[in-house]
Amino acid sequence: MGGNPFDTAMASAVSKSIQPKEGQKPVVKAPSMTSISEMKRLGDAVSHPLKDAWSFWYRPPISKAHGFIEYEQTLHGIATITTGEEFWDIYTHLKRPSMLPVVSDYHLFKRDIRPIWEDEINRKGGKWVVRMKKGVADRYWEDLLLALIGDQFGESGEEVCGAVLSVRNGEDILSIWTKTDDGGRVLKIRETMKKILNFPNNTRIDFKSHDSSIQQRTAIDEQRREKANQHHHEKRQPTMGSRQHHQE
């Protein structure tokens, strides 16, 4: 994929710079004199600290032409927020899910938790998944983000690792990741999710453990890796009298 992936996620430059987590790429421009003045004014105001620090991530569509790429290498950190003001500084400059390309993802996870199954805090947990028709993801995603940073999950919020919004062809997928797959504790998260987002009564909310996801992904990745290696080998050794073309 050409260009900076943040050009896809960011609707415009953020005026107030937030220091990204170590190892993440900064996604804000250097402040102008006007924004410096604005930052000073905001700095004089009372901020509203969040119970937990949260990190925004974005995963752009990945072209098949790139071959096999480890999932974690396709993730791009946007910024880490610690106050309500920082949340709005970032969120208001992000494109809504309905404006993102197909096969891209937004993530909001507690700081120091990577949005991958293999992360030490995620690996024993799972996720609640809701598949939604096109046209409703913007509202549900915003409501879920506000509930997470606003600690609306109460005690069960300690079991929440983060949330993901996946833009797909014909549907959008909303999920909440949990630290555990223990029935009682994760059921409380589902009930709170239903209440906060006010889903229709017939909405399906399915749980899937990360263990099962890892097993499924491992098999798929192995097939892709073998296919990519075979393709690379064929490109290096073209058939006599013909040229091998790289196929997407």
Residue 243 falls within a domain, yes or no?
no
Give me the domain span that covers residue 137: 6-235
Cα atoms found within 13 Å of the Cα of residue 21, Cβ hemisphere only: 18
Does any domain span residue 186? Answer: yes
Supply the CATH number for residue 26's domain: 3.30.760.10
At residue 14, the pLDDT reads 41
Residue 118 is assigned to a structural domain of this protein: yes
Tens digit of pLDDT per residue, the chain (248 long)?
445 555 666 654 343 334 444 544 433 333 444 454 565 565 556 789 999 999 999 999 998 887 778 889 999 999 999 999 999 999 999 999 999 999 999 999 999 999 999 999 999 999 999 999 999 999 999 999 999 999 999 999 999 999 999 999 999 999 999 999 988 889 999 999 999 999 998 999 999 999 988 888 778 878 877 877 776 666 666 544 443 333 33
Q: Note whether residue 241 is domain-resident.
A: no
Q: Where are the beta strands (DSSP E) in 61-191?
A: 76-83, 104-110, 126-132, 160-168, 171-178
- Give the Cα separation of 16 and 90 in Å (integer): 9
The dihedrals phi and psi of 192, each to the nearest 5 degrees, come to -65, -40
In a domain, 223, yes or no: yes
- Identify which of 72, 130, 117, 93 has the alpha carbon closest to the alpha carbon of residue 209: 117
Q: What pTM was estimated for this model as a whole?
A: 0.74
Is 212 inside a domain boundary? Answer: yes
Residue 185: what pLDDT? 86
- Looking at the domain assignment, is residue 244 inside a domain? no
Domains contained in the chain, number: 1
Q: Which residue has the tokens 């029935």?
A: 183
The answer to whether residue 246 is domain-embedded is no
Phi-psi region at 198: left, alpha or beta (left = phi > 0; alpha = psi -120 to 50): left
